[in-house]
Amino acid sequence: MVRVTEPAIRIRGVSHRFGEEGEARNVRALLDTSLDVARGELLCLIGPSGCGKSTLLNVIGGLLAPTAGKVEVLGKGVAGPMPREVAFVFQEHALFPWNTVRENVDLGMRFQGVAAAERAGRAQRALAAVGLEDFADHFPGQLSGGMRQRAALARALSLQTDILLMDEPFGALDEQTRMILGEDLSVLLAATRKTIVFVTHSLGEAVFLADRVAVFSARPGTIKQVITVDEPHPRKPDFVMSEKFTKLRNQLYGLLHDEIRKTMSAESAGPKTPGALS
């Protein structure tokens, strides 16, 4: 029997390396990472580019087998995609451009194995939840970037999984659009009580959405610190103006700043150390 207190996701000693050791293009993306994600929690992963946050997300979702360590989702070891337990929202929306928004939502459920009779109603409810009913018969190419991400979210919601993995879902959008989508997402997710892992580059987005924020170190990435954001969902737009928000955001900035510097100097100077330029 599964106890309610058991974490939704259990990550133990996960490391990942792209390519073989000794190859020119081999990269250690993730180093000995361990973490639990509680049921119903929204966890943000934040860190410098290339720190392995997306890699970790793909490992959790079974899209990538790690070179070491293991992940359990809802008490079961992960060995491949788990369409009934885990849904994804990708940065590049990943909608099928030849299908309308409604067909995209329908197709996800069809892949998952939902009976045809049930799909139409579930698609309609998911589209209503993200406010896209009026655009259900548009093709993705006819929508704005923000609407496409809403459609991708509707597709993920229609799958009714306990776990939602979001890989920089608003990364390609402008600041205003991502602010509004963030507010809507907070309302929506507070109602669904899903367990969510959310990769982002934005400090503000992380503090606004997350129950906890896991800060990654520079490559090879591992979790440097976990910060708790003790604020009930759904979060009000006012939260952004509060002192608590600013303090948490600054704390995150402090933690990230050094790691981003490390990444940048590793990229630009190669073996040189900072300061050796002069």
**Footprint on residues 194-223 left by other proteins (CB under 8 A):** none
Identify whether the C-beta of residue 219 lies closer than 8 Å to the C-beta of residue 50.
Answer: yes
DSSP string, 194-215: -EEEEEES-HHHHHHH-SEEEE
Helices then strands, each counted (H, E), the chain: 7, 10
Instruction: Count the neighbouring beta carbons within 10 Å of the beta carbon of residue 214.
Output: 23
Q: Which of 22, 141, 270, 271 binds other proteins (CB under 8 A)?
A: 141
Q: Answer yes or no whether residue 177 interacts with other proteins by CB under 8 A.
A: no
Widest CA span of the chain, in angstroms?
70
Residue with the two structure tokens 């050094």: 258
Mention every residue, 6+ apart, whose C-beta is less than 8 A from residue 101. 95, 127, 132, 135, 136, 137, 138, 139, 140, 143, 151, 154
Number of residues located near other proteins, criterion CB under 8 A? 24
Report which secondary-structure segment, H or E, holds 13.
strand 9-18
Identify whether the C-beta of residue 87 lies closer than 8 Å to the C-beta of residue 158.
Answer: no
**Footprint on residues 34-93 left by other proteins (CB under 8 A):** 61, 63, 81, 83-84, 86-88, 90, 92
Q: Which of 27, 107, 172, 266 binds other proteins (CB under 8 A)?
A: 107
Q: Which of 110, 247, 261, 272 binds other proteins (CB under 8 A)?
A: 110
Q: Which of 67, 112, 251, 265 binds other proteins (CB under 8 A)?
A: 112
Q: Answer yes or no whether residue 111 interacts with other proteins by CB under 8 A.
A: yes
* Nearest distance in Å: CB 49, other proteins: 18
Instruction: Give the Å distances, CA to CA, from 78 to 11, 82, 88.
Output: 10, 8, 15
148 closest CA partner among 170, 128, 123, 166: 170
State which residue, 61 or 182, has the beta carbon closest to other proteins. 61
**Footprint on residues 10-29 left by other proteins (CB under 8 A):** none
* Nearest distance in Å: CB 71, other proteins: 15
State which residue, 109 or 213, has the beta carbon closest to other proteins. 109
Q: Which of 7, 139, 239, 251 binds other proteins (CB under 8 A)?
A: 139
Q: Which of 96, 144, 174, 228 binds other proteins (CB under 8 A)?
A: 96
Stretch that binds other proteins, among 42-50, 97-105, 126-134, 245-253 (CB under 8 A): 97-105
Cα–Cα dist 163/232, whole Å: 20
Q: Which residues bind other proteins (CB under 8 A)?
A: 61, 63, 81, 83-84, 86-88, 90, 92, 94, 96-99, 107-108, 110-113, 139, 141, 159
